[in-house]
Amino acid sequence: MGVTTMETGEWAAVTPASCEDDALKLRDRLRQELEGAADVASGTALGDVLLLALEGALRGGPFDRVIVCILDADRGRLVARSGLGDGIEALLPHFDFPMNIRGGPVVTATQQRAPIYLPNDRTMNAIEARWAGTLRVAQFGVFPIVVAGKIVGCLYVDRAMDG
């Protein structure tokens, strides 16, 4: 309700600054956990690192859903491996893309090897807007995963139109 109780029984309003501080602390903690797990010396399995990345993006960012996509063994398809968020089970089947010009906006963004969040970074082009509309997505981001100079996948995030 926007207030916290004190031991004396008094009520004090929660200040937005403290909420923002808590969110920043959470993001920092999640980032540190991910960095620690991603360190080769930690011995953390890849699946666990990916799960930490998904959790960090969902809890630490303003996103409704997050998906990690990995290239298949032939490097010909970018396929959803796991995801978290509202309605994720319905969304995952849509994340199986050929790694060519027909792969759509997620593949194009992944191949550029630079993170992008639309429409914040730039206005969506017609193909991106049409694709986002079919998934009822107001905003989406693609964060390529590059290991030893090779693209291995991406982290996809979005905000739903109804969210």
Kindly report the backbone phi and psi dihedral angles of residue 147, in degrees, each rounded to the nearest multiple of 5, phi listed first: -125, 125
Question: How confident is the model at residue 46, as a pLDDT?
Answer: 66
Closest CA to 155 of 85, 102, 82, 98: 82
The whole-number average pLDDT for the span 95-100 is 96
Residue type for position 131: W
- Report the DSSP beta bridge partners of residue 114: none
Per the listing, tokens 């390529």 go with: 144
For the chain, percent of residues with pLDDT exceeding 70: 70
Question: How confident is the model at residue 6, as a pLDDT?
Answer: 47
Q: Minimum mean pLDDT among 1-15, 25-39, 109-123, 135-149: which range?
A: 1-15
Question: How confident is the model at residue 42, as a pLDDT?
Answer: 66
Q: What is the DSSP string of 13-38?
A: EPPHHHHHHHHHHHHHHHHHHHHHHH
Of the pLDDT bands very low, low, confident and very high (cuts 50, 70, 90), residue 4 is very low
- What confidence tens digit (pLDDT) does each residue in 7-35 have? 455 544 545 555 566 656 655 665 565 56
Q: C-alpha distances in angstroms, 90 versus 12, 133, 139?
A: 42, 15, 18
Cis peptide before 93 (omega within 30 of 0): no
pLDDT higher than 50, residue 1 = no
Decide: 78 and 97 in contact? Cβ < 8 Å. yes
Element counts in the chain: helices (H) and strands (E): 5, 8
Q: Is 138 exposed, middle or buried (0-12, 13-18, 19+ CB in 10 A)?
A: middle
Closest CA to 83 of 104, 106, 114: 106
Question: How confident is the model at residue 156, as a pLDDT?
Answer: 96
Q: Which tops the pLDDT comparison, 20 or 159?
A: 159
- What confidence tens digit (pLDDT) does each residue in 44-88 have? 676 776 778 788 878 878 899 999 999 999 999 999 999 999 999
pLDDT higher than 70, residue 163 = no
